[in-house]
Amino acid sequence: MLLGQAVRSLPGLIVNGIVGVVLLFVTNIVLADDLPINLLTVLICAIGGVVGWLAILVLHVLGIAF
């Protein structure tokens, strides 16, 4: 039963990761030209999805990181 739940949630996680990476690239083009796109930021967006992208954006705007 647990494996069935994991398999059903896998497509949602993949879509969330893809949306996060796409948002990173769109943000770099439209909003913040100086937002770095490197291995770290792409991994954060791929693993964290939209929440990862939002964390990167907030940290960049506040000048804490990235």
Residue 56 · residue 24 · CB < 8 Å? yes
* Domain locations in the chain as residue ranges: 15-62
| CA–CA distance, 49 with 45 (Å, rounded to integer) | 5
Q: What is the pTM of this model?
A: 0.81
Q: Which H or E element spans position 4? A: helix 2-30
The pLDDT value recorded for residue 7 is 61
Q: 37 CB contacts (<8 Å, ≥6 apart)?
A: 24, 25, 28
The pLDDT value recorded for residue 33 is 76
Q: What is the mean pLDDT of residues 44-58?
A: 92
End-to-end CA, the chain: 41
Measured in whole angstroms, the distance separating CA 26 from the mean position of its chain's CA atoms is 11
**pLDDT tens-digit profile of 3-49?**
666 567 788 888 999 999 999 999 999 987 788 889 999 999 999 99
Task: Give the confidence band of 54 by pLDDT, cuts at 50, 70, 90.
Answer: very high
